[in-house]
Structure 1
Amino acid sequence: MTELWWAGVEAVQGRSAVGRHLERTDPVRPDSVLAVGKAACSMAAGVQDRFGIGIPTLVITKDGHGTDLPGAEVIESSHPIPDERSVAAGRRAVEAVRSCKPGDDLMVLVSGGASALVEWPVDGVTLADIADATDRLLGSGADIAHINEARRALSRIKGGGLLTRFEGRHVTVLAISDVRGDDIEVIGSGIGVTPAEIDSETHIVASNNHARDAVAAAAEQRGYSVLNNREHLYGDVEVVASRLGLALSDAAGGIHIFGGEPTLELPPNPGRGGRNQHLAVRLSRELVGHDRSTLALVAGTDGSDGPTLDAGGWAGARFWSDAAEPFLAAADAGTYLDQTGGLFTTGPTGTNVMDLVVAVTQEE
């Protein structure tokens, strides 16, 4: 199970995804590179693999996601709530774009997490206003499209604002999608959107679909039958758990792959965990009493679930007891999984294509 999940994640890691795209398209060598997001270091490494280390490169990523990139300026910033470092990083990104000279080609590498990592509030809005709005939206059960729409309205550099400062020749945007529909205006709240008057091109180099297909290929190589490969982990986490329970309850033996990003409405003062950990515990309840022994791995492809260092958790009847109910009510699924041995921890993965559920059903 773990090997299959990792097969999906490794297929969409920034370094390999960018490398494959550059090998296929053979673009001109950029004069500068700007990378923003959880996968920024990995994506920038893919550019260095192709073009060497001499290109001026600014990388802005999440705390703990920075890696050594020779010749690159690497900034770690705040996520998921922006802070003063986000504003400083936003201003540094603007400087990098403005430094491009006429005739320069800029390569912009965008991945999920960029919305919080770089910021520059519009006039009349403070950083505290944005932080409060972000905290409220993240706990409201809203999906990422609605959250990022609100973020764009509060920022000078989201929704195409950053690249209005570009005065060079051409912009190439390579993005790893962490949103439904792979819309560049939603990924990172549109930090990679280019104004119509700028000569540019945009490519999605990795997505949840790519990850799920890689899991399916790895499963088939191991002799499994792939019974489901669907991107439908959308909506409230309770509804998603019920949907998955139904999909798995009458299934024959084989592998089931689901992708997407459910939502979770948080109570005041939530406990430890995130949507994947909550879904894992809730799905375990759905799997009690099934005729088949079913085990599922539920995890975020970026290696972090909510404000935790865990990626997600394991689901199966063996992980459920009625003692879990108060933990679910308190949004404290991580504590329950820790106590039952059901946590799944990876560390930063170098990508972010929403969430993956890999489940195996077996004839008893």
Structure 2
Amino acid sequence: MPPEPLSDRDILLGLFDAALAAALPEGKFRDRLPAPPKGRTIVIGAGKASARMARAFEEEWGRPCEGLIVTRYGHGCETRHIEIVEAAHPVPDQAGLDAARRILELARGAGPDDLVVCLMSGGASALLTLPAEGLSLADKQALNAALLKSGAPIGVMNRVRKSVSAIKGGRLAAAIAPARAVTYLISDVPGDDPAAIGSGPTIPEASDPEAVLALMRTWGIEVTAKLEGVIRANTVSGDAIAGQEVHMIATPLMALKAAEAKARDFGLTPLILGDAIEGEAREAAIVFAGIANSVASHGLPAAAPCVLLSGGETTVTVRGKGRGGRSVEFLLALAVALKGRPGVCAVSCDTDGVDGTEDNAGAWFDSGLLEAAAGLGLKPEDFLANNDGYSFFAALDRLVITGPTLTNVNDFRAILVR
């Protein structure tokens, strides 16, 4: 007998699984390993994917090494030589501050015969927290909380974070010199700018206090006299540092390309709409609903059956008191905009396995979602107004729960049009 046709859910989650597999660090160092040093190999780093990166590096390096990695609570893993510590994300805590101090000390202690391997991924901005002179941890926590509520894109948030850090924006690279440094990155930012990933601790970048202060005012982030003074004083030249290499080992586009190949395996026409989608999640959803409707009605920009793939990092301006991150916000707004259109279903997940601060990676829906919601007396518009996508999809058993994936190439979205 022929195999049973795959369900919408099976296809959507199969695409997500393929994207995740392409974003893992295993096997990504093999062709990018540096020459062994005369001295020590010191491994430092931060981010949601950094612990798994450390384990993968150890496997492929095959030589003694030492060092310290800081990752998010629950995102650690076992390693042979490199110490893994966990700290808070997205609002930093004392554990992250202590780890950042130790990492900076390791960098400063590297000699000219040593090799420093830096493993950075999304989340490093909050995890690698070391306030510039004049600021306390409480000041950094308050600023991070304000940034997260502002709706500012990740590029803006990271630029502000650099301006008040003693370790970001290339300051860690300066501490490593004159030792040789090799940085490996897993990108979680639109455009894959190395200076934006984790706020670029090892990527020299010139300071521009006036631009940072203007951005803060634009996004409604309070600029106190103390903050302004620190930002103006905490400047760096951005000059390149000799003997440093940077390698990108996983990106959002790599994940989308893997999902594209999987879609073809499923007999679908894939169309990648972009790996750098930004903006308000609910507004982006309206645009994507329009594209899906065009596919269903006119066969444009692709003919059904097809799947529309996209990545990037949308944002949510928090207005309500509900639960959920940008993935379920996008998906709920998409469902509302599609109005239960037959033959259209979708998945939206964060590739680190954590949507916002909840226990889900995201959620999925099929064309019967709104009818099922009505049967339970749920009004999706009310949940959307309260930023409560988590509760809505939980009530309908549509959450995607993976646990921490130990990688992070940001949002993954797939819209299937039959």
TM-score in terms of structure 2 length: 0.82
CA RMSD of aligned residues (A): 1.6
Aligned residues of 2:33 and 2:61 also touching (Cα < 8 A): no
* Candidates 330, 336, 355, aligned match of 1:285: 336
Question: Given the alignment of the two structures, is residue 354 of structure 1 paired with residue 361 of structure 2, yes or no?
Answer: no
Residue number among 353, 356, 360 corresponding to 1:306 in the alignment: 356
Q: What amino acid is the match of 1:46?
A: A
Specify which of 287, 291, 295 is matched with residue 243 of structure 1.
287
Match of 1:9 among 17, 20, 27: 20
Letter in 2 for 1:11: A
Residue 133 of structure 1 pairs with residue 143 of structure 2: yes
* CA distance in structure 2 between the aligned counterparts of 1:34 and 1:77, rounded to whole angstroms: 15
What is residue 217 of structure 2 aligned with on the other side?
none
Residue from 318, 326, 337 that aligns with 2:368 = 318
Q: CA deviation at 1:110?
A: 0.4
Shift in CA distance, 108/232, structure 1 to aligned 2, threshold 3 Å: closer
- Contact preservation (8 Å) 1:35, 1:59: yes
Cα distance in 2 for residues equivalent to 1:152 and 1:25: 28
After superposition, where does 1:58-69 map in structure 2 within 5 Å?
58-69=68-79
The question of whether the paired residues in 1 share the 8 Å contact of 2:184 and 2:249 is answered with yes
Identity of aligned residues (%): 33
- Give the counterpart letter for 1:283 in structure 2: L
How far, CA to CA, are the matches of 1:212 and 1:74 in structure 2? 30
Q: 1:26 to 1:152 in 2, by over 3 A?
A: closer
Asked whether the equivalents of residues 283 and 315 of structure 1 are also in contact (C-alpha less than 8 Å), the reply is no
Query: Tell me, what secondary structure is at the counterpart of 1:218?
Result: helix
How far 1:247 moved relative to its partner? Answer: 1.2
Query: Which amino acid in the other structure matches residue 344 of structure 2?
Result: T
Residue 30 of structure 2 is aligned to residue 23 of structure 1: yes
Q: Which residue identity is paired with 1:27?
A: P
Letter in structure 1 aligned against 2:356: G
Unaligned 5+ segments in structure 2 are 1-11, 205-238, 296-303
1:59-101 CA deviation, whole Å, 9 max, x = no partner?
Answer: 1100000011112211001100011112101101112212212
Displacement of 1:169 in angstroms is: 3.2
SS of the aligned residue for 1:250 comes to: helix
Work out whether 1:200 is the aligned partner of 2:267.
Answer: no
1:333 is matched by which residue type in structure 2?
G
8 Å contact from structure 1 (residues 285, 317) kept in 2: no
Tell me how far 1:168 sits from its aligned partner: 4.0
Distance 1:203 1:51 in 2: 15
Paired residue type of 1:28: A
Does the 8 Å CA contact 1:216/1:229 hold for their aligned counterparts?
A: no
Distance 1:198 1:271 in 2: 49
| Residue equivalent to 1:72 | 82
Matches within 5 A, 1:127-206: 127-194=137-204, 196-206=240-250
Which residue in 2 is equivalent to 1:343? 399
1:286-317 per-residue CA deviation (whole Å, 9 max, x = no partner) reads 22242x41111100011111111211111344
TM-score (norm 1): 0.93
User: How many aligned residue pairs are there?
Assistant: 356
What is the CA-CA distance between 1:281 and the residue it aligns to?
0.9
Q: Say whether the 8 Å CA contact 1:110–1:192 is kept in structure 2.
A: no
Cα pair 1:141 1:266 within 8 Å, conserved: yes
1:333 aligns with 389
Inter-partner Cα distance in structure 2 for 1:152 and 1:110? 15
Q: Deviations over 1:204-226 (max 9, x none)?
A: 11111110001001121232221
Q: Which amino acid aligns with 1:97?
A: A
CA contact (8 A) 2:340 2:369 kept: no
The CA distance in 1 between the partners of 2:330 and 2:242, in whole Å, is 43
Structure (1 or 2) with the larger CA radius of gyration: 2
Once residues 184 and 153 of structure 1 are traced to their aligned partners in structure 2, the CA distance between those partners, rounded to angstroms, is 17
**2:126 matches 1:116:** yes
Cα deviation for residue 229 of structure 1 reads 4.3
- Residue 258 of structure 1 corresponds to 310
